[in-house]
Amino acid sequence: MESVHESAPAAKILVGVSLDARASSQLLSWAVTVAARPNDTVIALHVLVRKAEKRLKSERSSLRQAQASVISAVGEFAGVCQTKRVKLEAKVRTCSSVGEGLADEAALVEANLLVLRRNSFEIVRYCLKNAPEGCSIVGVDVDVDVDVQALPRKDGDVDSLTYDDNNSSSSSRLTYKDNNNNMVNALSPLRKFFGSTSKRERRHSSSESICEKESPRGVLEGPEAASTPADDCSSSSSSVVGRRSHTNNWRRLSVARLFFPLPPSPEDSISMEGDACSSYAEEVKPSWRCFSYEEISRATNKFHPDNLVGRGGFAEVFKGSLRSGQNVAVKRLAKGEGDQLKEKEFLVELGILGHVRHPNTANLIGCCIENGLHLVFDLSCNGSLASALHSKHGRVLEWSARYKIAIGIARGLHYLHKCCRHRIIHRDIKASNVLLGADFEPQISDFGLAKWLPKQWTHHSVIPIEGTFGYLAPEYFMHGIVDEKTDVFSFGVLLLEIVTGRRPADTSKQSLLVWAKPLMQSGRIAELADPKLEGKYDMDQMQRLVVTASYCVRQSSIWRPPMSKVLGLLTNDRDSVEAQIRSIPECQVDEMDDYNLATDCSLDY
């Protein structure tokens, strides 16, 4: 029977989302990671009640807030949807009531499944009565862990649903009657996959979790049982078939109405590490808004070329000033071929930035989806680290500022890897992606290539290879393997760039690493130092940066330290640093002899 279900036509899954970001994220997580299969379409819909329309005619902030909320919610799942080959859409519509809007949209798009919050009683009641035939309704309780329940169908429906408790939490099952009046086991045992009433049951459920081969590179955790990496699976094929039958049973229920709790989320058990995380772990990202195109066009003088401050492969950045006097940087998605990929990168960046809050990461203040896709940030008054280091006409970046920048970047990366709500791998750490604010406080920017990494994954496999030549870790450059150590390697190269003032691949086409290797090995610090500093630097700090860089750029990721140790090497007192150095294992071979990036420097820098 499983082959029949696997060959079923693509489904449309409509998810009713609110302005509650956490609840919307949980509903979408269930829809994407549990219900959806390849080629399905997940549609996130927010409904504005029509009675507010008069106010919207004079003030459209409510509409823009709704647009921003939905975009942020779906942006978090752009990467996993692309990997799983699931289409993802975001919509905002007005209607006389939320329930009517959801039911009408379900009919309009011919939705097969409507996902709602179980405790939205009025909305659920309306949809039960008015949802189109052929559309199943799933209610997910995002607040409390309750037993699976089946609500009765409206009078006159062909199928009927019953809930069989049997006085045993372990045997709870949901059944329905098909057109031949035969009792069919629909979801049994549901609680094993969708939440348990005891910790013991949850541990048992987690131990029996089976991964989906269809999404081996999903990068955002969903339900615990749905986020195990495929590469690490050793379960039998029969177990996988059994799991698929559970995760897709809603398709067998025709127009049945299902209600069950959301499974425990991995993020509920994330433990923050160390004092470096405590200041930011529980902070909530301030609300950001959706700008009108008129606002950002006025701010940038209609995107005048004189206001262009940066250009990348997917976007252009313009400086500007809002009416309030706030200086901003507007990142505009470049037009041209590959718009679908660019939009995916845009949504990924928006989704990640919506969950990032740290002094050493870029501060998103809003977006605009009119006439293209735009992100709006605070303007960094001192430009990028690349311009500060390599500008031929600007003033020399003093050593004190360089050391401060190095520590700030390390703190930002440590936050992304260990302290953020999700593990985030940036994948494109380089000088031009480090912005310098007031007092040269660094901010890591450009999260277009960033990847979510579920906490139980060891690494992520990526194709194609993206990033900037000269900063790419060997395992990523050669095999597409991505984890925290990928960023550690890039940071090591960046440290050498800060110390030496040289680009990773200079005009002589000699790799910075190849040039620096003999100098680091022999301890010739003076020859490594940027000549523009004219010897004006702190020797202890210089040695710290060089030693730290030498650990970070080890060829094998196994021998590189995590960012927690990197940060300690840069900030702790000398005794602590010496102890940390002793705790870092020595390489078993002279790996740098085998690492030569000087063979091809023809890639764009």
In this structure, is the dihedral angle defined by the CA atoms of residues 305, 309, 311 and 314, taken in order, positive or negative?
negative
Question: Is 331 annotated as belonging to a binding site?
Answer: yes
CA distance 32 to 26: 10
CA distance 10 to 41: 8
Candidates 40, 141, 428, 446; catalytic one: 428
Known catalytic membership, residue 143: no
CA distance 435 to 604: 21
Segment (H or E) for 43: strand 41-49
Closest CA to 432 of 317, 343, 352: 317
Residue found under tokens 């590959």: 338
Nearby residues of 433 by Cβ (< 8 Å), 6 or more positions away: 384, 444, 445, 446
Q: What does the longest C-alpha to C-alpha distance in the chain come to?
A: 89
CB atoms within 10 A of CB 33: 25
What is the DSSP code string of 529-553?
S-GGGTT-S-HHHHHHHHHHHHHHT
| Alpha helices per DSSP H over 131-274 | 190-194, 199-207, 237-247
Residue found under tokens 């995107």: 303
CA distance 176 to 161: 4
**End-to-end alpha carbon distance in the chain:** 53
DSSP 417: I
Closest CA to 289 of 324, 254, 262, 257: 324
* Per-residue burial over 373-406, b = 16 or more CB atoms within 10 Å of its CB, e = otherwise: bbbbbbbbebbbbbbbbbeeeeeebebebbbbbb
CA distance 547 to 568: 12
CB atoms within 10 A of CB 293: 13
DSSP lists the bridge partners of residue 23 as none
- Distances, alpha carbon 239 to alpha carbons 208, 260, 396, in Å: 9, 23, 63
Answer yes or no: are the C-beta atoms of 587 and 559 closer than 8 Å.
Answer: yes
Strands (E), 497-601: none
List binding-site positions for ATP: 331
**Active site (catalytic) residues:** 428
List binding-site positions: 331
